Chain A
C-alpha cells in the first residue's frame, strides 16, 4: 500500500493532466469569466442609473446575489461534465485496469478522481471570486456574507463532483452516467421545488374550527366576542411536514446559509434574507390560537421575520446534510463497484 494521500494526489494529478485540463476546459473557464464580467457590468450600470449615479447598497447586494447564483448555476451545470465519466470513461479507454494493477487502492482511485473533478470546477469559483469582492466595495454585503457564500459554493461543487464520479463508477456507459448526473442536478434544483409543491398538496389536513361572532351591545357600545357552539370543518395545507424538500434545493441552501442583515421592522434587507424567511416560515405549524381561541387572537402576537428566522431550524444545515449524504453514498457505491479483483460485473462490461 502507498500512503493514502500520496495515492490520492498522484491520481488527482494524472486526472487533471489527462482528462480534465484540455483546451475545452480553458475555453469554458474563459467564457464563464466573460459572462460574469458582462453581468456584473450590466448590474452596476443599471443600479447606478436607478440610484442617480451613486453606488448603493441594493446595487452591491444585487450584484452579490446574482453572481453567487450564477456561479451556482453554471458550476452545477459544468461539474457533471467533468466528473460524470471519470471512472467508466477510463474503463472504456483501457486506462482503468492498468491503474488498478498498481499499488493504488480503490478508495484512493475514486477519491483522487473526485478531488480532480472538484478542483476543476473550483476554477469557476476562483474566476468569480473577484466579482464578489467588487460587490463588497460597492456596499450592501459584508465580508461574512462573501466568505460564507464562497464556502457553500465550494461545498455544493464538491457534492456535484462526488455524485458525478460516484455515478461514473456505478453505471457502465459514460454518456448515461453524465446524463444521470445532470438529472440529479435537475432534481435538486427544480425537482425539489416541484416535489415541495406536490408534497404540500398531499400533506393537507382536515381540521375543525369554531368561528367567532361579534355581538354588538347597543347600550354599552361594546361588541362582545362569542365563540360559536358548532364546529366547522376545513382543510389547510401543512408545509411544515414537507419543508425539508425545499431545504434540499441548493439555491435555498445558499440563501439560507448566508448571514442575513435586518433592516426596518426586523425584516431582511436583501434577497437571500427574504428567501430564507420564506423557507423558515414554512417550518411553522399553523397558529393554533386562531383555531382554539378565536376571541383572544391578536395579530400582533405573531412573530417578526427576525424572530421567525431565529426560532426555526437552519434549513441550510438540513439541505447540506442531505447533499453530503448523497455525495458520500455515491462515492462509497463507486468504491464498492470498482473494487478489484472484481467478483460481479455489470452485463456487457469489460475489465480492460
Chain B
C-alpha cells in the first residue's frame, strides 16, 4: 500500500517532465498510474469481501510509538477505489479541459499529489500518519483551489479553505492524541476493541469534541459549510474531484472509521445527528436558491455531506449500509455532474441556468451523462440513487431521538435537492435554445469521464446485488466494526420507504415548477445570506490582521533602538526573574586576577566608554572593535584558542561591514532627549548586571553530569579528533550545527533580498 502511495507521489513529481516530453498524450499517460492502482484495488476486492484485511507497518518515530502503518479493509477499499478510479477519469478530463493551457503540468502535478495524500489518508492505520496525510490534503487542495492564482477571488477562497480545514485539522490532532491516551494505542484498527475503555475514560468527551471539529470543518458541516461553495473558484475538474469522492469526504471517512470506537454514545448521537440534519437542510435550501450550476452543485454537495453525517451519526446496521450506499452513489453522480457542468461551461461559455437551454441536440453525450446523474441525485428508479434513498428512508426511522423532526427536515431537504436536480438535468438541455448557438459536443476527453460515471450509476442501479453489494457490505462491516449483511434488490417492493420516496419526488417536482417564482419572491431575503458564518470568518481574519498590525507597530516600528530595548529588557526581566527566584548567587571562589587580565579588562572598559562618547560613527565602530578584540584576548587567556580565533575573524569582518554600511548613513546626530538617554542607560546597565549574574550563577552551580569530562574522554576515542570544540560542532552535535547553518543561510537570503529593496530601486521600477 505504501508502494501505491509512493507511486502517486512519484507521478506527481514527474508530471511536469511528462508534459514536456509527451505533449498531448501526457494526460492519458499520467492517468494510467491511478488507473493501474484502481485495477490493483479491484483485485483486492475478493480477499476483502471474504473478510481478510491486509496490513503493513514500519517503525516511524519509535520513541513516540508512531508507526507508518496501513490497513486495507472494506471502508478503506471503497474509498481507495473512488480516489483512484475517479482520479484517473478526472486527470484525463483535466488534460482536455486545460488543453493548450501552460498551467496544465501544474494541474497534473498538484492533482496527483492530492491523490497520493488522499489515498494515504484512507489507508493509514496510525492516527498520526492519518493526520499527516490529512494535512497534506489540506495543503494540496490549497494549491488546487487557488489554481487561478492571478484572480484575487481564487486566492481568497483557497486561503479560506486552508484556514478552516487546517484549523480543524489541528483540533483533530489534539483529539486523536487524547483518544490515543484514552485507548492506549494509536492504531486505528485496534481502537474498536477498546470502545468500552475509551467511552468510560475522562478524556472521552474532549477527544470526541476535537475530532468532530476536525471532521466537521473538513466535510463542510454547518456552520463551517461556507468554505465549500467558495472553493468553486477552482476549475471544474478540481471541483469534481475534491467535492465528490475525496477532500470533503475525508471527514465522513474519519467519522466512519472511528464509529466503532466512539459511536453509539449519547454525545455522539446528539452532536453528529444535529450537525448532519442541520447541514442537510441548510445545503438544500441554499442549493435551491442558486442559478449558477456550479454553485448549485456545491450546495447540494453540502446537503449530501449533511446526509452522510446524519447517517453515520445514527450508527445502526441500516444506517451503516445506507451511509456506504449513499457515499458511493454520491461520489459517482456528483463527479459526473461537476464534469458535465464543466463541459457545458467549456462549450457554451456560461453556467447560468437562466441563460442555458436546448443543448441536448448539440451535446447528446454530455446531456445523457448529466441527466442520468441528476436523476440519480434526485433518487429516481432504476438508478442507484433510488436504492440509496430507500436505504436512507429506512435508516432515519432509527434515529434515537426526535425522529419526527429529523424525518421531516430530511424530507424537505431531499425534496429541495430533487428540485435542484431537475434544474441541472432539464434547464441546460431542453426547452428553447438560447444564445449559445455555436455550442457543440465536447471533445472525447470531456465526455468520457461523465458518461462512464453515469453508466456506472445506471449499472449499479440495475444490478445492485451483484455489483454494489461486494463494495458496500465490507465497507458497512468495517464501519460497524462487526460483520454486517447487506441485501440489495432493485425493487424493494411497496414499503413505507417507497411511499416516502414518491412523496418526496412529487414535492420536488412542485418545487421545481415554482422555482423562478420562488426565487423572485425570496429575492428580498438575499441580504440575509450576508449574515452567515462567512461573516464571522471575515471578522476573525480582519481582527487577526488588526492585532498583528498593532503589535508590529508597538514592537517592530523600524527604530533599531526600540528593538534593542525590547529584546534586552524582556530578556533581563523574564530570565532575570527565573534566575533570582531559583538560584542563590555566590561570589566566585578564590583565584586572584592576573595583571594581563586586568589590563585587557581595563582596555575594554575604556573602549566601551569611548563608544558612548563617540562623536562620529566611525570612532564608535573603532571603539567597539576594541571591546570585541578584548573579548578575544580573554578567550585566549582562559584557554579557548578556537573561540579567540573565531572572535578575531568576526570582529575584523564586522568592522568591514560597518564601513560598508556607514558610507550610506548621514553623519551622526543627537536626536534623542536626555530622558531617553537615561532610560537606555538604565536598560544597558541592567543587561550588563544580568549577564554578570548569569555567569556567576552558571559557575557556582555544580553540574550533575560532567559533560566536559565525557567529551574530553570520547573526542579522540570515538570521533577521531583532538580538538574537542570542533568535534562537538561537527560530530557530537552535528545535527544542531546543521540547524544553525540552515538558519544562517535563510538569514543571508533575507539580508540579500532586503538590501536589494532600496528606495531608489523601487522608484525605478514604478
B is a partner of A: no
- Residues on A lying within 8 angstroms of B by beta carbon are none
- Residues on B lying within 8 angstroms of A by beta carbon are none
